Amino acid sequence: MPTPPNATLSNTQARDMASLLHPFTNLTTLRQTGPLVIDRGKGVFVYGSDGKDYLEAMGGLWCTALGWGEEELVQAAAEQMRKLSYAHIFGGKSHEPGIALAEKLKEMAPFPVGKVFFANSGSEANDSQIKLMWYAANARGQKGRKKIIARTKAYHGVTLASASLTGLDAFHKSFDLPFDFTVRVECPHYYRGAEAGESEEQYSARLAASLDATIQREGPDSIAAMFVEAVMGAGGAMVPPRGYFEAITAVLNKYDIRLVDDEVICGFGRTGNAFGCQTYNFQPDSMSVAKALSSAYMPISAVLLSPELVEIIEEEAVRIGGLWHAFTYSAHPVAAAVAVKTLEIYQRRDTFGHVRKVAPVFQARLKALAEHPLVGEADGVGLIGAIEMVADKKTKRNFEAAKGVGTKCGQFCQDEGIIVRPLISDRVALCPPLVISEAEIHELFDRFERGLNKTLDWVRREGLL
């Protein structure tokens, strides 16, 4: 029997509960608390219908890089909507914003890019990557190369195909997923995965050897590609150990397996460089971007393909009469115009340089939280990071999942006027807008620490620590 709605909900909350199906939400809890209804935003703050301000420490969903209320993006959307509100690129059609954005992405890309394919979300981009990897394999006559390697705790989307790559059980339950083309390898999380006395480089070498063994077991000629995130996002906001990408790319090159770089979260400055692969020194064969591509002001994503992949894909399209993959809103002119303006702003204001300037303050405050009685790990890079709360710091023992400590922390933080993202294993992520100032970083962590201390008090009252 469903939990009845809380009778004290506001009219707006009650209307929400009667009409909206909320994703990524504990629906039982939601029926008691109601949603936080956001009315407006400015800079790094959003303002609720409850009259409170909230420091948005997640940049929405890892995406609102320029913060809220950026008038130049509003103007770019309005001007394009008046000029050409919609156009598609099917059947040989095109338009200036789509062309300009593709050109700009080719110019910015940290690897040789032949052409760009547009979609509307990170999930759609990664779904397209899977299809295009299969398409290219078939075109090469490698019809057996259909398996895709992805890592435990990876997040690559929620479409049927991309959710199969996502390495989080919650995204598979009751959906009959994952599909069997996915080959799962270990999550590179040094805090949880390293053996006693093992250095980060040794851990990376061991993971590379395990990857090699997995490829041998599956058969190298059965694998088309491996998908990676430079920093693993929804799986825990975990940075890779030193030497990891150098070690695994050597293995992939050995077997001619393509590397797909999912930059949906890390792309456009999050780690202090334009792309996460630059921070971690690897070169992909293709790349997915979304989120900060338009600072989330309009839905848009892109697949950046190497010249070799473009050539083989186009040859196959000529052979069979067309490239039969697209979306109605691919390269939507309004979204593309906003994205072009977003990339221009990043360059003109040196947004990535700003991230490098303030990141040491962010990381110092983050890593200092490792001393907190609840925190086992506190780590990150640039303007992204996470803490992991544990029941025993010495043994790294987690709290029982059913106790919902991470979720409770998220609610206490919200009470303190900060929006964070509770993830699996009682990890809590922080990923603020790239425009955040040093003073706002300190305000972020002051509020976060108050929420964390309330969580500690609650944990003690419940006898969990």
Q: Note the pLDDT tens digit of each residue in 74-85.
A: 999 999 999 999
Q: Are residues 192 and 254 in the same domain?
A: yes
Q: Are 89 and 157 within one domain?
A: yes
What are φ and ψ of residue 318, in 5° steps? -65, -45
- Tokens 């509003």 map to which residue? 74
Please state, in angstroms and rounded to a whole number, the distance separating the CA atoms of residues 271 and 253: 25
Judge if 138 and 228 occupy the same domain.
Answer: yes
Radius of gyration over every alpha carbon of the chain, rounded to an integer in angstroms: 22
Confidence of residue 350 (pLDDT cuts 50, 70, 90): very high
Residue where one domain finishes, among candidates 313, 348, 383: 348
Q: 272: domain range?
A: 72-348
Q: Which of 80, 81, 86, 82 shows the shortest CA–CA distance to 328? A: 86
Model pLDDT for residues 421-460, shown as the tens digit of each residue: 999 999 999 999 999 999 999 999 999 999 999 999 999 9
Query: Quick one: 267 and 180 in the same domain?
Result: yes
In a domain? residue 179: yes
In a domain, 14, yes or no: no
Q: Is residue 340 located within the same domain as residue 423?
A: no
| Average pLDDT taken over every residue of the chain | 96
pLDDT at 26: 83
288, 262 Cβ separation under 8 angstroms: yes
Is 266 within the bounds of a domain?
yes
Tell whether the model's pLDDT for residue 381 goes beyond 80: yes
**Do 356 and 319 lie in a common domain?**
no
Q: Give CA–CA dist 379/45, Å, rounded.
A: 24
Q: Indicate whether 2 belongs to any domain.
A: no
Residue 20 lies in a domain: no
Write down the pLDDT at residue 7.
64
Task: Note the pLDDT of residue 31.
Answer: 86
Among the three residues 332, 348, 364, which one is the final residue of a domain in this structure? 348
Tell me whether residue 8 is exposed, middle or buried, using C-beta atoms within 10 angstroms of its C-beta: 0 to 12, 13 to 18, 19 or more: exposed
Instruction: Give yes or no for a contact between 292 and 258, defined as CB atoms under 8 angstroms apart.
Output: no
Q: How many domains does the chain have?
A: 2
301 lies in the same domain as 429: no
Neighbours of 115 (CB within 10 A): 17
Closest CA to 31 of 49, 14, 50: 14
Same domain, 211 and 331: yes
Contact 206, 243 (CB under 8 A): no
Handedness of CA 303, 306, 308, 311 (dihedral sign): positive
pLDDT band at 354 (very low <50, low <70, confident <90, very high): very high
Cβ atoms 99, 294 nearer than 8 A? no
Rounded to a whole number of angstroms, the distance between the first and last alpha carbons of the chain is 33
Strands 182-185 and 418-419: unpaired
- Whichever domain contains 452, its CATH number is 3.90.1150.10
Same domain as 145, residue 278: yes
Can you name the residues that pair with 227 across neighbouring β-strands? Answer: 260
Q: Distance between CA atoms of 282 and 404, rounded to whole angstroms? A: 37
Strands across the sheet containing 427-430: 375-381, 384-389, 427-430, 421-422
Per the listing, tokens 């809890």 go with 29
How would you class 108 by CB atoms within 10 Å of its CB: exposed for 0-12, middle for 13-18, buried for 19 or more? middle
Give the DSSP H/E element, type plus range, for residue 115: strand 115-119
Q: Is residue 89 part of a domain?
A: yes
3-state secondary structure of 164: helix
Q: Say if residue 312 is in the same domain as residue 257.
A: yes
Per the DSSP assignment, residues forming a β-bridge with 289 are 302
Residue 401 counted as domain residue: yes
Q: Can you give the CATH number for the domain in which 113 is found?
A: 3.40.640.10
Q: What is the DSSP letter of 68?
A: B
- How many CB atoms sit inside 10 A of residue 181's CB? 17
Residues 118 and 244 in one domain: yes
**pLDDT tens readout for residues 293-326:** 999 999 999 999 999 999 999 999 999 999 999 9
328 and 388, same structural domain? no
Closest CA to 227 of 192, 268, 265, 258: 258
Domain boundary among 300, 332, 348: 348
> Residue 31 falls within a domain, yes or no?
no
Q: Please list the residues that pair with 226 across neighbouring strands.
A: 149, 259
pLDDT score of 465 more than 90: no
Which contiguous run of DSSP H or E holds residue 136? helix 122-139
Give the 3-state secondary structure of residue 316. helix
What mean pLDDT do residues 336-340 have?
A: 98
- The H or E element that residue 18 is part of is helix 11-19
Average pLDDT estimate for 352-369: 98
